[in-house]
């Protein structure tokens, strides 16, 4: 086969990919540390819990034991049913959206129950992955103090990752985290009067 002429699109592409390959191999070689990760999904955009459930699915696929604690909302039972099995513990401690309940004492009690579960799973050496779904909402409403959440993370038994979701992540949580992703809204069908739909919103 005749090689492509110098300066051609094919040659330019190959040169760019070779440079990228060198760069990526250097980064991979330099990343030698392996440790527990605190991961935060926040922002006003859709997809925070969905991304966390993707990580959950991957961990289950690797045969790891996982725990999910849902604060505030309770609308992801379809995910729970789809992933149910001996490797997954799932708790929905929330009783629905706070604007519907209008019961601060009840919300605080539910969140306290969730934090107690989180502390238990973070100390359990058999658990590799803990998801605290919508915990940031509970923190924003001062249902739980962030210091207690961070203490639970710092006092964990090693060998697990923690994911926290919800809009409005506190600055101190973002500072503590190893990986933070912020979802932005560019368009959302709800703003155009489109109802929430099964499999997309819940």
Name 24's Cβ contacts closer than 8 Å, sequence gap at least 6: none
Q: Mean pLDDT over residues 127-147, rounded?
A: 96
Between CA 160 and CA 177 the distance in angstroms is: 14
Between CA 146 and CA 160 the distance in angstroms is: 20
38-80 pLDDT, tens digit per residue, is 999 999 999 999 999 999 999 999 999 999 999 986 667 888 9
Q: Which residues pair with 42 in a beta bridge?
A: 182
Contact of 162 with 132, CB cutoff 8 Å: yes
pTM for the model stands at 0.86
166-185 pLDDT, tens digit per residue, is 999 999 999 999 999 999 98
Q: What was the pLDDT predicted at 112? A: 96
Q: Which residue has the higher pLDDT, 62 or 98?
A: 62
111-125 pLDDT, tens digit per residue, is 999 999 999 999 999
Q: What was the pLDDT predicted at 100? A: 59
Q: What was the pLDDT predicted at 140? A: 95
Complete domains list, the chain, with CATH: 34-192 (3.40.50.300)
Between CA 11 and CA 173 the distance in angstroms is: 46
């Amino acid at each position: 086969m005749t090689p492509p002429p110098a300066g051609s699109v094919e040659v330019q592409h190959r040169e760019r990919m070779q440079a990228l390959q060198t760069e990526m191999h250097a980064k991979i070689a330099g990343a030698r540390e392996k440790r527990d990760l605190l991961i935060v999904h926040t922002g006003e955009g859709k997809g925070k819990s969905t991304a966390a459930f993707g990580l959950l699915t991957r961990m289950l696929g690797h045969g790891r034991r996982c725990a999910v604690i849902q604060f505030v909302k309770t609308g992801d039972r379809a995910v729970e049913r789809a992933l149910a099995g001996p490797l997954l513990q799932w708790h929905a401690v929330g009783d629905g959206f706070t604007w519907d309940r209008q019961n601060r004492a009840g919300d605080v009690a539910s969140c306290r129950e969730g934090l107690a579960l989180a502390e238990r799973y973070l100390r359990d050496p058999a658990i590799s992955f803990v998801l605290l779904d919508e915990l940031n909402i509970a923190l924003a409403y001062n249902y739980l103090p962030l210091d207690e959440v961070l203490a639970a993370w710092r006092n964990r038994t090693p060998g697990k990752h923690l994911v926290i979701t919800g809009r409005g992540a506190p600055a101190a949580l973002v500072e503590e985290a190893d990986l933070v992703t912020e979802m932005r809204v560019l368009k959302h069908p709800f703003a155009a009067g489109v109802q929430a739909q099964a499999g997309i919103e819940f």
